[in-house]
């Protein structure tokens, strides 16, 4: 059996790809709404912390659409390139779930902070708005840390999979 014939590995590689598709549709739609609905665009562009809604949109595109596509592609290509299975299937699973939880948390809390800050800025001073927004951004930072941890897990797993590829290739050829 070839390393890439592992059903669970294929399932998770495809889940990364499916998430890429879902996040891209969300991000593309979100961007079109921000650009196409004048009141939404005005809210985002002209209220204190409204730009946090843009950051949420940016993160769902970058960490959702782009990164998930990269993860899926690298998970697909790596075993074929080095002629062996992934170093740790457990790390693939952990990477998938931590990354998705972190990303969703980031998007939710960026958006919440943006809406609350923009709404509060209509009636409050910038200092008062900061008091409202700060806790939401702190929680968002926790979820951002999860994404960084997930990316580190991915990098470690890919590195360990690739490390020693020449010796593995020679052993497989009986040299």
Distance CA(30)–CA(143), nearest Å, equals 21
Mean pLDDT over residues 145-158, rounded?
98
Query: What whole-number distance in Å separates Cα of residue 44 and Cα of residue 166?
Result: 53
Comparing 41-45, 108-112, 134-138, 164-168, which segment has the lowest mean pLDDT?
Answer: 164-168
Q: Which residue has the tokens 């040299």?
A: 175
Instruction: Provide the residue ranges of all domains of the chain, joining segments of one domain with +.
Output: 3-162
Q: Long-range contacts for 120-123 (Cβ within 8 Å, ≥24 apart)?
A: 120/48, 121/47, 121/48, 121/49, 121/50, 122/47
Using alpha carbons, list the distances in angstroms from residue 108 to 76, 88, 104, 115, 166: 30, 30, 6, 11, 45
The pTM of this model reads: 0.90
């Amino acid at each position: 059996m070839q390393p890439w014939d592992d059903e669970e590995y294929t399932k998770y590689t495809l889940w990364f790809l499916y998430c890429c598709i879902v996040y891209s549709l969300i991000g593309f739609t979100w961007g079109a709404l921000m650009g196409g609905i004048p009141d939404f665009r005005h809210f985002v562009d002209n209220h204190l912390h409204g730009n946090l809604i843009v950051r949420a949109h940016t993160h769902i595109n970058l960490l959702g659409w782009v990164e998930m596509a990269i993860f899926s592609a690298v998970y697909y290509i790596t075993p074929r390139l080095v002629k062996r299975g992934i170093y740790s299937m457990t790390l693939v699973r952990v990477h998938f779930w931590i990354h998705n939880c972190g990303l969703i948390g980031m998007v939710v809390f960026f958006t919440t902070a943006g809406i609350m800050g923009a709404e509060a800025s209509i009636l409050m001073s910038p200092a008062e708005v900061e008091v409202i927004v700060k806790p939401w951004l702190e929680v968002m930072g926790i979820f951002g840390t999860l994404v960084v941890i997930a990316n580190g897990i991915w990098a470690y797993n890919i590195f360990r999979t690739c490390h020693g590829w020449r010796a593995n290739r020679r052993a497989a050829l009986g040299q």
